[in-house]
Structure 1
Amino acid sequence: MSAATALPLRDVQLPPPPAWWPPAPGWWMVLAAVLAVVAGLWAWQAYRQRRRRRWLNTFDNAVAQAADPAAQVAAIAELLRRAARTRQPGAELLQGREWLAFLDEPGSRAFAEGDGRLLLDGAYRKQVDAEAVQRLRVLARTRFLALMAGRAR
């Protein structure tokens, strides 16, 4: 008998399949990347909400500090001009209908034909309707936020 035939041969032995835990290092990197993206998105959204609240508080405080409706109209006009300057330099210099057209959203004529017309002369009147100022405040607050956020006209 030869030495080669004397050795008993066994079938191929496969190693046991890998366990599902702990995952391979590549899966840890994928998990870390996903968590980083989720944390980044959450932080970005929280930053945007804080910034939005700050802008709205600035608007509300400035209007609330005004003594009478005419002063409130003046404060609203000043805030809108400042916001317009941040959105488009030179827009704060517009006057009359051009200014109201700039403030209008596409498809809207709320400033040019509605309560927004109070911005043109409301700060110079002796008597200003408080309800009209309140409607203007709601309209201007929305537009102020849109201008500060840099959303397209």
Structure 2
Amino acid sequence: MDAATLALRDIHQPPAPSWWPPAPGWWLLAAVVLVVIAVLWFWRARRQRKRRAIAALFDQTLAAADTPAAQVAAMSELLRRAARRRDAQADRLHGDAWLAFLDHDDKPGSPAFAQGAGRLLLDGGFRREVDAAQVEALRVLARARFLQWMGAT
């Protein structure tokens, strides 16, 4: 055969690689993503369990108190325990200093403990008769502060 009769042909490219199975790097990336998702899910579930346990502790402690005065005393005890997480000396405060400490995290101008329903904490646990409506208003405030300080919000 002579060179003039041979037709030149283009170079044939190999076929493109298929998308399946993926390269080992993609498998590694998928495994890392799954591990991150699992860790985030576990962390979130653990936080939710902690929040529910803290809220249940508050609710069960108040449910165990049989009188409104005992409920006020229980709220005071729970708030003092939670306050130790903020300041180690906070449970030793009393009177208006204690109420001011409870209001410390609120917006300025809204002292709910010092001027509102929270004043019941000062002597409500020692009274013979305590209005149930006042105790309920205090319960809402105390529960919110307790959950905030215990890290459940």
Let me know the Cα RMSD of the aligned residues: 2.2
Number of the residue aligned with 1:99: 98
Cross-structure match for 2:13: 14
2:116 to 99, 105, 114: 114
Aligned-partner Cα distance in 2 for 1:26–1:150: 40
Structure 1: gaps spanning 5 or more residues: none
* Percent identity of equivalent pairs: 59
TM-score when normalising by structure 2: 0.88
Task: Specify the alignment match of 1:137 in structure 2.
Answer: 139
- Structure with greater contact order relative to length (CA < 8 Å, sep ≥ 6): 2
What secondary structure sits across from 2:15 in the alignment?
A: coil
State the aligned residue count.
Answer: 150
* 1:112 Cα offset (Å): 0.9
Q: CA deviation at 1:10?
A: 4.4
Uncovered stretches (5+) of structure 2, i.e. residues with no partner: none
Distance 1:127 1:95 in 2: 22
- Residue 79 of structure 1 is matched in structure 2 by 78
Tell which deviates more after alignment, 45-54 or 92-101: 92-101
User: Given the two structures, how large is their TM-score scaled by the length of structure 1?
Assistant: 0.88
In terms of mean alpha carbon deviation, does 94-103 or 121-130 score higher? 94-103
Name the structure where helix makes up a greater proportion of residues.
1
